[in-house]
Structure 1
Amino acid sequence: MDEREGNGEDVVYDRALLLHGAKRNEVLTLEEIRRYGSDSFGDAEYVRIYGMPPAQWYGRGIRLLGRTAVECTRDALADLIGSDIASLAAKMPSTSSFTVIDPFAGSCNTLYWVLRHLVKAEGIAFELDPLVYALSNRNIAFLDQKIELVQGDYQTLLENRNIPADRGVVVFVAPPWGTALDERVGLDLRRTTPPIGEVVSRIGRTFSGQPLLFATQVYEKVNPASLADVRALVDWSELRIYRLNDEGRNHGILLATRGGTP
């Protein structure tokens, strides 16, 4: 029997179980959150979100699905991403205020950290999945940052959004990776759901008259051809990898701009 089919202590709480297996759409208990951290990263406190360790955020009533626990950007990484976005946004031309868009909200943790770092910014997030939306909408009500979370497809909803022309637009691009990530060969940006290039192109057309800053979450290994495809869509880009563990499973960010260079 596969160890993931067993019960109790013999179950390995890893990416496969939580993202593709029996726990995908289940609300995890605190013990399961800690098991995932221990089994996958050797750290029971690994899933730190909204500035809190698991016991604290769970105690406040915050809950995660199995897939969200895997796909959420934990605090250590989200903090660095938010800081780098704010630093680059300060160099964008003729822009003093920003609208930060997260087309694939998930837990909203990265957006939460971006708003902590980027002053004079408002945040709007979109979540298509009703289960994830319901939990995240409930979770962010406990936070100290105001985030507007909308259920539905970002493509349609953004077209009806009137963002003032004098505001800069920051877009955090992190669609579900799913099978696009192979930890041995890296992340193929063409195989995310939807592809990264498609997201950059669509939002670029929607806000063609405004300064745009894209921040795309990536893995430490990225398929070179897929990276080149995305870079061809922007005016400037820089890849940054954050070394946060010794497991060879670090993440990073592709910062890119359209309508100007920093």
Structure 2
Amino acid sequence: MYPIRLICECKCYSENYKVRLPHIRNFVGVMKDISENYIVYKSGERNVAKRHNDVGCFFSASSFTIDAQEYAWAHNIFIISFNNNSKLKYIIKDIKTFVNNTQLKNKTKKEIIRQFKESNFSFSEDKNISVAIGIIDGVYPVTLIGNQKWLYDIDNMTDNLSEIILAEKTQRKSNKFDTLFTLNVRGEKINFTLPNIIANKIKNRVDQTNSGEQIFTIDIPYIRNINDNSIRRFVKIIVKLPNYEKEEYKKHIQIVQEENLR
């Protein structure tokens, strides 16, 4: 068993420009080049010191086209979109303003990131966000975005290896390419976006779920220091359908979707 190495690519295109199939195809090529750059010679020596299990993840401020989603799914590439997420709109706006007003030619990525952090654009309007990486049903990663410290008591949890939090799925906002889900977690609104190749599976599950029943779970891994030992722990969020009639829930979702189309 080799350690996991996460290889990522990030894009921040305009809202109307989607991440397309060639972007994902190129990323798959990069992943293969990296994974194949491992040679064991007859002498037993290796050309690299360590070997890894490489996992690819593609982040985007805008949506992914359907063929890009299908290609990523076929090649085990995780894709995460932040499209339509209101909690990130100011950050995305600041990034685009920074790029349009800054000389970036001949600068390294580290220099650009440092300059952005030091600029007046960096998080200028909304600093009150907190982000956590979770895994739906142990299969697909999501980026959970809420108000600052929405997991405010994480350090005061018990010393068990996992902590269970109950949540309700209250809204969703869909377009042709992806779906924004909203959860009610202890009174806080938490958002995450899924490409529709995954979101449609969640929607189908909702149709088969009764009020108050579990739809899916989200595991949030983190490292906690307990008795001077670093221990990997999980916060498990159990997401249920709201405790009111399912027909009312469908009407509620329909109203939200109709408002989004106006």
Which structure has the highest helix share of the two? 1
Q: What's the TM-score bracket when you normalise by the shorter of the two chains?
A: under 0.3
TM-score, normalized by length of structure 1?
0.25
Which structure has the highest strand share of the two? 2
